[in-house]
Structure 1
Amino acid sequence: MIISQFFYKIFRALLVVGLLLATIAVGIGIYLQWYIIDTLPATEHLKDVQLQIPLRVYTNDGKLIAEFGEQRRIPVSKDNLPPMMVKAMLAAEDSRYFEHSGVDIKGLLRAAWVYLKTGEKSQGGSTITMQVARNFLLSPEKSWTRKLKEIFLALQIERELSKEEILTLYLNVIFMGNRAYGAGAAAQIYYGRNLKDLTVAEFAMLAGIPKAPSANNPISNPDRAMQRRNYIINRMLEFSYITADQHKEAMSAPNTAKIYATTLEADAPYIAEMARAFVQSKYGDDADTKGYRVITTINSYLQSKAQTALRNALFDYDERHGYRGAIGREHLPTNPTPEDLNNLLSKYAVQGGMFPSIVLAIKEKSLHIYNNRIGEFDIAWENLAWAGRYIDDNRRGANPKSPKDIANKGDVIMVRPIKQLVNPENTTMDEDGNEEVQAPTSDDLSTLNDPSVKWRLSSVPQIEGALISIKPNNGAIIALAGGFDFNQSKFNRVTQALRQPGSNFKPFIYSAALDKGFSAASIINDAPKTYQTGTTTWRPENYSHKFYGPTSLRTALTHSRNMVSIRLLEEIGVGYAIDYVSKFGFKKERIPYNLTTALGTGEVTPLELVTGYAILANGGYKIEPHFIARIEDSAGNIIFEANPATVCYDCDMSKPIEPTKVFTNLPTALPAETTVTALVPTATNQPKTPLSAELVLRPQNAWIMTSMLKDVVRYGTAKRALKLNRNDIAGKTGTTNGPNDAWFSGYTPDVATTTWVGFDQPRSLGSKETGGRAALPMWMEFMEEALKQYKERTLPKPDGLITVRIDPNTGLRATGDNPNGKMEEFSSESVPTRYAPTYKETTDTSQGQSGNPLEPLF
């Protein structure tokens, strides 16, 4: 009886315990189902996961311009993962990866036992699959609930993805320090090479980083990183991933990791910012994380030359106006070390290819200086002698007699590398007959410590500039330099600076006159005239302050005669002229409705000016400037491709053009009038029928205007351009009142380029700083390179032009006995029918001193 009661009690206790355990199990099951399993994120999208990949911008020839995005990532496909990288990562993180089903029970139990013994989480039990679940689908919080979710997700992921797919995801997403996400980016950042090109020791070093990206980092904590690397190398030998010889070689290898910044292959920051702004406007604010590749129309070589030409023009201007002195002064310690000097220079930035340097000693004919790029060196006297003191825009001090007149010990000065020296005794003549010395030109010199590289004292220019070059046949921008240094000022002067064009605008007024029946031989009296507007009196003058009497339009444009331009605008009417010039793309609302328009007092951007000149260059066809050739997604698919309106004289415009071949080896707000979208033509990724450019100007008009603008180069204010030895160059200088702005716009049938020099806050450039002196040299330096790829040529002469021998003094037909007779082109409706009086010995008053003026305005 007692025994039966005992067994009864045992049975009842077991039953209670069983019911309790069952209740607990049901509760755990409900908890796992409701609070864990039912709340797990879906894993289906892991097969099509979109990694955060930077937006990259390229030139048209495949050179990297810029990279935008916080995360550096270079995805590697599963077929391209180096086997040794996989082995190193397995040895470091999950040696039983190919044996478990997403959760390593042995590893979890081992980690739990260590935790129970020590109370510390010194061992992790996470597998690679669990880390993928955490990185892609879960928050980074540390809790038991998250750990349970991680386990269940890992099991689910293993059912839906292959081991290779999971491992590829892991190696592409894991954070590896210094903005590197994934092994591909880490290889570039720490070793400057592609992942497939690393050594066993380097693979092991990378594999050691994910466990603790800061503590195991080869840059910030090299000793601990080496310990972790060697541990992994030993593990690789233990699992027979490497041979004994490979082990020995890897263990003896030094730590060669260092930070490799993204190597930009083309200097086009203003274009890069334009591209970023456009992509974000089209594809959203997160466009810099989706791996888009923007291929621009920019040519990398010409872009480099454009930036160099701009800086050289500003350096040249700066040297003409005198040296403004050191940028700082530091106290030199006795026997300073390179570290001491680097610390002193650390507060000064490199600007526009100039390097801050500290003066260590003053020698008889040189300065002994130091900078952190090449160490100690001397600047020779020929690169110091220019540095007379700046006084104001029109005055400078006497040239120095020795280096001690220029700098003191401890001065921090700016210096720049130069590619050639110029003998200061060799002078050239500017357009006004003044002697001047051209400064040596700088270049993109990659080996700055080469003995052949010379250095020149410089100042950071206060003056600014812009250069824009496009193809006249379709508006593709091939080079754009929006300022001296993008890091110094992100204001893009090509697209954002609204400035007065001065005489650079005159060709469009003259074109309007031709359209209204005038000809290049029409005579306008170059004589003084006073204009009264209310109480305001305006007495415009020519730049030379002289007047030349009856003058042909060709001669007046060649020598930029103000009075002829003003009287011509009177003749054709201001309203008519403003309507007409809008054909070239100029905004009517920015052109004043008065006679000062003849002198270029409206407001334009350099981009608008070059577009207008491109219409003259291509024979009268309206083109739209654009800078994006195509956009690719992260997989290399073309999602946007330009189809600009194109001038084509001899081709079949109905024949489809195939999409551009994709490169296979590709590793700020604008003013209201000029939107980024306006610079990107309609695009498609399908075979496209090219758009034919609209003819907005009579071809005969464009031909005659080009003929007249060629005379500006041959005989007028742009004669300096004859040094290029080309007969197909046409162009026009421009200088505004002050002078505040200096311009040159010039073209051939293949390239149109505009250059501008001025201060951002308008002020005088100095009395002799004309377009021919300040802006034309920049244009010439760039175009000398740009034109090398094009043979000299002239567009086919359009029908409807008649060549007639005329008397240049009257614009009428010349009789046979007139020795001054000249051949002139006329449109058929403007050919003179009357003959000039019988020839008598006279003086051709239509010729005279050249000028490039913009006189005082209302």
Structure 2
Amino acid sequence: MSREMTGTDAGSAASGRAGRWLWLLATAFSLLVLAAASLAALVEYTPLPEASIPQSTTILDSEGNVLAALQGGVNRRTVALRDISPWLIKATIAAEDRRFYEHSGLDARGLLRAAWIDARHLSKEQGASTLTQQLARNLYLSHERTWTRKLKEALYAAKLERRFSKDEILEMYLNQIYYGHGAYGAEAASLLYFGKHARELNLAESAMLAGIPKGPRYYSPHLHYEQAKARQATVLQTMTETRYIGAALAARTRSEAVAIQPLPKGKGQIAPYFADYVRKLAAQYLGTDEKLLTEGGLQIVTTLDSRVQSAAEAAVAKQLPENGELQAALVAIDPSTGYIKAMVGGRDYGQNQFNRVFATTRQPGSSFKPILYAAALSEGAVTATTRFRSEPTLFYYDDYRKVYRPSNYNDRYFNGEIGLRQAIRSSDNIYAVNTIMKVGPEQVIQMARKLGITARLDAVPSLALGTFPVSPFEMASAYSAFAAGGDRAEPVAIVRIADRNGRVLYSAKPRREQIVSPQLAYVLSDLMRSVFDTGGTAHRISRMLTRPVAAKSGTTPSDAWFVGYTTELVTSVWVGYDKGRTITQSEAHRAAPIFADFTEKALADIAPHSFPLPDGVVQTYVDSATGLLATADCPEHRVLESFIAGTEPTESCAPIRSLQQESDTNSSPWWKKLRHWWKS
């Protein structure tokens, strides 16, 4: 039998449970007190490390010379808090840490919110840094996203809060924070962007400047004004939420245009567009932010040749009117390595930092035709003696449901059959469209993709005439395969990146691929040399060149191109207007002289070399009037042509004298025919 618990037993049990809870609470409280005491001691007695002094990252050319386009590295001007606009102070607090004057270095609410989000997403991406934490990170720590760094950041932030007043921390922060383009601190940034001291900034300028540290490159008003304005609007909104300004003032300020000072180009500075490209690539390769790239003391060794770059900049400047809006782009690549040797993204980096070398809104026109002919030669659809009629022609496609009617420049036609060499020499559009109809546009697109062109290309007949936009960079990369005997090397701008201690962080390992055969590359190059012959589209610059060059021009209503190569250098040149306005005939003729002038100066120290003739290429004389093998009986149109072995003609031209005799015989009386028969 069970017995019932007495009142005394129940009381004893309840008393025991209460005792255990009291013991647990006392233990927990003791541990909390101990942890708090330990944390206080840690904050009190742990010394702050030595502040990290920003060290400029240097971008070097291929010879180890510092490129002047680095923009000076660290640009900092320290000022007192009283010399900074109150608008900028309020905008910064609102944008970065609206509870700055309430916390003690750590924002517990924000920290818990960030931790919860990180735990849910199993990441460490969510930020909750106060101004004090950001200052601690900038002074003492790296920017790696680890919990160890976050704990140290919190410790150093608490230490800063104990040592300095809030205004002192804010002053240090506003003199330390990175605002892009090498500018550190509010004073340097104010002078860089607005041409005025930090104390002179108005609300609109302050809100824009306060938004930049979130993404110094993305929100740079020099590079992305509209994005900077959008970020400014966000800052103004936070200022209304913190009651620093009213909604009406925020609305008026948003509508104000902000005058931005042009970036100083700097004396002797070269290759600024290339340097920007290198920074972007380095950030991708290292997976880090621009701030660390700028102040981390990295050494970035590039492929650029400063002497070749100077020749490129001089050639562009020589051909562009001194005062005008006509723009140009040039990029040169060593086909044997893929190394980018020169890059000019526009006429004036200080006025406009948009790099037109990578613009994907330009139709290449006839400069795209070598890619078409590479596909056709590869598929055996044409050879040097393939003939089509040059005359106004209608082309039906898409199962005869659509029609395309191309025309030649100025409606000039041969009104007869021409071969591939003549088609390239004169840039005949009818021949090109006949070729794409024969080989198929899908094959042309496939060839373009192999050559590194990623832009949108549609399988239509007009593709043959370069009607789909391609960047100058992609065109140079594609032509590099032809210059290197069919072997294309992936373009390279950075050879290696090392940290301030010399440890290699990145080393280039470019891919190489045999795109077309050496025989095809030679045949195509041989055909493309004819553009410099009499009657060729580039004949006017032939006297400027002293070495074998293969090239192709391209002209559209708004774009002028000249893309060509020697065995040592591939160069793509574009000339036009940013807004796509129509170019004049004289403006269209500026691309070719830029190419010729640059090529000769860039290769001045290198002896001319012919394109090497590979095994498997047959060179034979043909009759250009018929495309058949030339003989002594048809010497008037005799020309030496190159063929991939097995594709050369095997039938000889008909003897001219015999054809004349046959004509005379057919028109003679019967007795003369009899006499002719008797003598024969």
Short-chain TM bin: 0.5 to 0.7
Q: Is the 8 A contact 1:586 1:604 kept in 2?
A: yes
Output the amino acid matched with 1:300.
S
String of CA shifts for 1:273-318, please: whole Å, max 9, x gaps: 1222223332422422211121211111221221222222221xxx
The match for 1:554 is: 421
For 2:280 and 2:425, the matched residues in 1 are separated by 41
Q: Is the 8 A contact 1:483 1:493 kept in 2?
A: yes
Output the amino acid matched with 1:561.
D
Alignment partner of 1:556: what SS?
helix
The match for 2:567 is: 749
- The count of residues paired between Structure 1 and Structure 2 equals 447
Output the amino acid matched with 1:828.
A
For 2:275 and 2:45, the matched residues in 1 are separated by 38
Output the amino acid matched with 1:637.
R
Within a 5 Å distance, the mapping from 1:719-798 to structure 2 comes to 719-736=539-556, 739-767=557-585, 769-770=587-588, 773-798=589-614
Determine which of 376, 381, 397 is the counterpart of 1:513: 376
Q: Is the 8 A contact 1:65 1:272 kept in 2?
A: no
Give 1:45 deviation, angstroms: 5.7
For 1:825 and 1:708, the matched residues in 2 are separated by 8
Match status 1:275 vs 2:278 = yes
Q: Is the 8 A contact 2:311 2:598 kept in 1?
A: yes
Match status 1:502 vs 2:320 = no
Determine which of 314, 320, 325 is the counterpart of 1:314: 320
Q: Is the 8 A contact 1:64 1:264 kept in 2?
A: no
Deviates more, 1:593-602 or 1:274-283: 274-283
The structure with the largest helix share of the pair is: 2
String of CA shifts for 1:442-463, please: whole Å, max 9, x gaps: xxxxxxxxxxxxxxxx42x212
Within a 5 Å distance, the mapping from 1:62-73 to structure 2 comes to 62-67=65-70, 71=74
Within a 5 Å distance, the mapping from 1:431-442 to structure 2 comes to none
Q: Is the 8 A contact 1:55 1:69 kept in 2?
A: no
Q: Is the 8 A contact 1:303 1:480 kept in 2?
A: yes
Match status 1:53 vs 2:67 = no
Give 1:796 deviation, angstroms: 2.7
Alignment partner of 2:411: what SS?
coil
Match status 1:290 vs 2:296 = yes
Change beyond 3 A, Cα 1:52–1:722: same
String of CA shifts for 1:577-611, please: whole Å, max 9, x gaps: 22223221223x61221111111112210000011
String of CA shifts for 1:311-341, please: whole Å, max 9, x gaps: 22221xxxxxxxxxxxxxxxxxxxxxxxxxx
Determine which of 528, 553, 571 is the counterpart of 2:438: 571
Give 1:732 deviation, angstroms: 0.8
Alignment partner of 2:497: what SS?
strand
Match status 1:146 vs 2:163 = yes
Determine which of 331, 340, 349 is the counterpart of 1:468: 331
Percent same amino acid at aligned positions?
Answer: 31
Within a 5 Å distance, the mapping from 1:214-613 to structure 2 comes to 266-281=269-284, 282-285=286-289, 286-287=291-292, 288-315=294-321, 458-459=322-323, 461-517=324-380, 518-531=382-395, 538-548=404-414, 549-587=416-454, 590-613=456-479
For 2:45 and 2:335, the matched residues in 1 are separated by 55
Give 1:804 deviation, angstroms: 1.7
For 1:735 and 1:472, the matched residues in 2 are separated by 25
The match for 1:38 is: 42
Match status 1:835 vs 2:652 = yes
String of CA shifts for 1:775-820, please: whole Å, max 9, x gaps: 1111122112111122111243111111222111111112222112
String of CA shifts for 1:212-271, please: whole Å, max 9, x gaps: xxxxxxxxxxxxxxxxxxxxxxxxxxxxxxxxxxxxxxxxxxxxxxxxx99765411111
Alignment partner of 2:490: what SS?
coil
For 1:532 and 1:639, the matched residues in 2 are separated by 56
Determine which of 517, 520, 523 is the counterpart of 1:704: 523
Alignment partner of 1:591: what SS?
coil
Output the amino acid matched with 1:638.
V
Change beyond 3 A, Cα 1:475–1:147: closer
- Alignment TM-score, normalising by the size of structure 2: 0.60
Output the amino acid matched with 1:275.
V
Q: Is the 8 A contact 1:466 1:482 kept in 2?
A: yes
For 2:75 and 2:461, the matched residues in 1 are separated by 57
Give 1:703 deviation, angstroms: 0.3
Deviates more, 1:804-813 or 1:32-41: 32-41
For 1:542 and 1:492, the matched residues in 2 are separated by 32
For 2:275 and 2:658, the matched residues in 1 are separated by 63
Q: Is the 8 A contact 1:592 1:601 kept in 2?
A: no
For 2:336 and 2:69, the matched residues in 1 are separated by 28
For 2:658 and 2:560, the matched residues in 1 are separated by 40
For 1:515 and 1:142, the matched residues in 2 are separated by 70
Change beyond 3 A, Cα 1:142–1:506: closer
Change beyond 3 A, Cα 1:36–1:550: same
- Alignment TM-score, normalising by the size of structure 1: 0.48
For 2:448 and 2:658, the matched residues in 1 are separated by 41
Change beyond 3 A, Cα 1:696–1:142: closer
Change beyond 3 A, Cα 1:294–1:40: farther
For 2:520 and 2:305, the matched residues in 1 are separated by 31
For 2:183 and 2:562, the matched residues in 1 are separated by 46
Output the amino acid matched with 1:824.
E
Q: Is the 8 A contact 2:634 2:654 kept in 1?
A: no
Change beyond 3 A, Cα 1:627–1:41: farther
Within a 5 Å distance, the mapping from 1:118-157 to structure 2 comes to 146=163
For 1:70 and 1:806, the matched residues in 2 are separated by 62
Change beyond 3 A, Cα 1:727–1:45: same
The match for 1:641 is: 507
Change beyond 3 A, Cα 1:66–1:33: farther
For 2:312 and 2:265, the matched residues in 1 are separated by 23
Change beyond 3 A, Cα 1:796–1:68: same
The match for 1:659 is: none
Output the amino acid matched with 1:494.
V
Alignment partner of 1:788: what SS?
coil
Give 1:640 deviation, angstroms: 1.8
Q: Which 5+ residue runs of structure 1 have no aligned equivalent?
A: 1-29, 74-131, 149-172, 174-178, 182-260, 316-457, 646-692, 843-858
The match for 2:245 is: none
